[in-house]
Amino acid sequence: MTIAYSKPTPQKLLSNRQIKAVIALAEGMTQAAATKFAGTSPQTVTAWMQDPTFQARLENEIYSRSMDDLAFHKHLRRKALRVVTDGLDSPNPSQRMWAAKEVLARIPADPEEEEAALNRAICESVMETERP
């Protein structure tokens, strides 16, 4: 099975006016009210509504307001896990390396392995001090 990967696109940032419009719309204001709140024209807000980045931010804002903090954090963890998983499966070696480092940095070490490494280090330091 062949998996097609798309190039990662840089995250486009929204302007302050776009963020104001997102907040207004997420709070349930009409598009006309959001236009006034953001200080822009109705045509501009209509154009923003067609922008995938604006749409994603609006959906995320609405979603985050519809759940409690615990549920929202679970949602964000799932999203982050998908990003890391995609990175591990990427054909790009640097992306795979980044994802692997992120995973390893967050997985707790095996307690038995950690204890064995600590015991070895103690034994080695004791042996070094006993040498003439």
DSSP sequence for the chain: -----PPPPPPPPPPHHHHHHHHHHHTT--HHHHHHHHTS-HHHHHHHHT-HHHHHHHHHHHHHHTS-HHHHHHHHHHHHHHHHHHHHH-S-HHHHHHHHHHHHHHSPPPHHHHHHHHHHHHHHHHHHHH--
Is 4 a domain residue?
no
Is 18 a domain residue?
yes
Q: pTM higher than 0.85 for the full model?
A: no
Is 53 a domain residue?
yes
Residue 11: pLDDT above 60? no
70-109 confidence digits (pLDDT tens): 777 787 788 888 888 888 888 988 888 888 888 777 776 6
15-27 confidence digits (pLDDT tens): 999 999 999 998 8
Could you tell me the residue range of the domain that residue 34 belongs to? 14-66
Q: Are 25 and 54 members of one domain?
A: yes
Q: Are 24 and 52 members of one domain?
A: yes
Residue 46: pLDDT above 90? yes
Domain count, the chain: 2
